[in-house]
Structure 1
Amino acid sequence: MSNSPSTIQSVDRALTVLSLLAEHGELGVTELAALLGVHKSTAFRLVTTLEQHDMVEQDGGRGKYRLGVGVLQLAGATTARLDLVQCSRPVTRRLAEELGETVNITVLSGQEALYLDQTAATAALRPHNWVGQRTPLHATSNGKVLLAHVSDTRFTELTAGPLRRFTDRTKTAVRALRAEVEAVRRNGYAVAVDELEIGLTAIAAPIAGPDGEVAGSVSASGPTFRIPAERVPHVAAMVVEAARQISRKLGWHGLPKQS
């Protein structure tokens, strides 16, 4: 267990329980208490809490605990994101070189777009690295694509709070945003011009997972002077095609399902 003053003891102990079960396979409360150096009642509270979240489960016959299906669900979510990055990278590299712009992969995470991967053309200036960062849904092309493929209830939840204005081009009225994402759904791609920051244009399209549900989005972005209005249709067509190629690599060969 960590002795850092910044750690929360109960969380640290709970994570240690998971690590011990991963190492030993099955352990009883007495064994866990001894390994943790805590009283049996403390160990029991830890495994009971973890059991309520399906992170551990008990063998009724022997009273021992083992890792539960919740751990598999978390691992599955991580694997799905890794699969998305691995499957998309050959496509995004090719797209970045063909367009001479930066290409990003994002997924919906909480109430924001989470950037999983980024590829820049070799000839392009060094871009800002978005990997691991989160951006607002309403002010980005990736965010609008993700918003366009959630249920009405989820859309309402995601746009419930005040929408921050980043530039004069940012849409902060929910009604206008809803109309735009409906158009995104019809057109198959989203465009954001000077909405997150002045001088930045981005175009995104949805990526479908094996079940046809939208698993993420792919976008191409660059300076607005390099992606003027007359170039948008060409870039959009290439981004949409890239999204289809990635979707096929993930196992889906149709159009993204509508929520």
Structure 2
Amino acid sequence: MSNTDETPPGQRGRTREGQSGVQSVDRAISVLEILAREGQAGVTEVAAEIGVHKSTAFRLLAALEERDLVEQNSERGSYRLAFGILRLASAIPTRIDLTRQAQPVVDELAAKLDETVNLAVVQEHYAVNVQQARGSAAVSSHNWVGQLTPLHATSSGKVLLAHMPAERRLEILRTAGQPRLTEHTVTDRARLLAELDAVCGGALGTAYEEMEIGLNAAAVPVRDHTGTVVGALSVSGPAFRFGRAEIEAAEADLRDAGDAIGHRMGWMG
């Protein structure tokens, strides 16, 4: 009879031990993710979610507590993340490059929507596009990478403005103004501020032929590990095929992509 286990007899114990160790690591990471998502949780809740006995969940939490990664809330008997997490995380942000983290997400979204996707950040009083990907339908589209675009007349710019402190937003608008670029550009300050308030409240940033006749766009925020908006992800296309209905249809994918970049940057939201 052949033995289906080709592992040498002397190594089988070590293999099982290794598998057990990997499983423990996986469970410990799951515990951290649960606490990051829920804020706090008790032993019973953790055990139920990862599918283990309460004694196993308690041992996992105790091991994490010993390393200062979780701490117990004495008032409620539940656990939450501890400052040891910050010690580990502090080494990461300085090495994270937004464009590098965003690249696969930007490429995937452009292929899915078959339109042009850009990632923009603030530079002085402008939005500058730092990354772009184009769908097959946008082969002849303009290359926006490295170009400065007005904050008040672009979807990305509106997202970036909306999530700034109010004082900085007003300073930029006073300095840069709201020049009319097309007949659709919003030049009224009160109207723009109302639109920015809506974007800050969760609405899409949109620009319908406001910077260039025939070009529509929509954008969502991109957050870093602290939850701060550090960029804006936009999708744009010619008005004849990327109108309000198409933007509405693309919204869920655009938001998912913006969140995906944020998660790659360490955002837990």
1:217 lines up with 2:264 in the alignment: no
CA distance in 1, matches of 2:204, 2:137: 26
SS at match of 1:138: helix
Q: Which has the higher helix share?
A: 2
User: Residue in 2 aligned with 1:152?
Assistant: 166
What is the one-letter code of the residue matched to 1:138? H
CA distance in 2, matches of 1:190, 1:240: 11
Deviation of the 1:239 alpha carbon: 1.1
User: Residue in 2 aligned with 1:247?
Assistant: 262
CA distance in 2, matches of 1:103, 1:239: 9
User: Residue in 2 aligned with 1:198?
Assistant: 213
What is the one-letter code of the residue matched to 1:106? A
Flag structure 2 segments of 5+ consecutive residues without an equivalent: 1-92
User: Residue in 1 aligned with 2:98?
Assistant: 84
SS at match of 2:152: coil
User: Residue in 1 aligned with 2:249?
Assistant: 234
CA distance in 2, matches of 1:174, 1:114: 22
SS at match of 1:207: strand
After superposition, the Cα gap between the structure-2 partners of 1:123 and 1:193, relative to the gap in structure 1 and judged at 3 Å, is: closer
Equivalenced residue count is: 176
Which of 93, 108, 120 is the equivalent residue of 1:106?
A: 120
After superposition, give the CA deviation of every residue in 1:194-229 in whole Å (9 maximum; x if it has no partner). 000111010100000111101101100000111122
Q: Answer yes or no: is the 8 Å Cα contact 1:203–1:235 preserved in 2.
A: no
Q: Answer yes or no: is the 8 Å Cα contact 2:115–2:136 preserved in 1.
A: no
After superposition, give the CA deviation of every residue in 1:6-26 in whole Å (9 maximum; x if it has no partner). xxxxxxxxxxxxxxxxxxxxx
User: Residue in 2 aligned with 1:167?
Assistant: 182
Q: Answer yes or no: is the 8 Å Cα contact 1:188–1:240 preserved in 2.
A: no
Deviation of the 1:123 alpha carbon: 4.3
User: Residue in 1 aligned with 2:109?
Assistant: 95
CA distance in 2, matches of 1:202, 1:123: 15
Sequence identity percentage: 40
After superposition, the Cα gap between the structure-2 partners of 1:244 and 1:237, relative to the gap in structure 1 and judged at 3 Å, is: same
After superposition, give the CA deviation of every residue in 1:67-113 in whole Å (9 maximum; x if it has no partner). xxxxxxxxx98x65xx1111111111110011110000000110100
CA distance in 2, matches of 1:237, 1:178: 25
Deviation of the 1:174 alpha carbon: 1.2
Q: Answer yes or no: is the 8 Å Cα contact 1:106–1:216 preserved in 2.
A: yes
SS at match of 1:132: coil
Q: Answer yes or no: is the 8 Å Cα contact 1:188–1:206 preserved in 2.
A: no
Deviation of the 1:240 alpha carbon: 1.1
Q: Answer yes or no: is the 8 Å Cα contact 2:107–2:133 preserved in 1.
A: yes
1:207 lines up with 2:242 in the alignment: no
Deviation of the 1:188 alpha carbon: 4.1
CA distance in 2, matches of 1:126, 1:230: 23
CA distance in 2, matches of 1:123, 1:178: 34
**What do you get for the CA RMSD once the two structures are aligned?**
1.5
SS at match of 1:88: helix
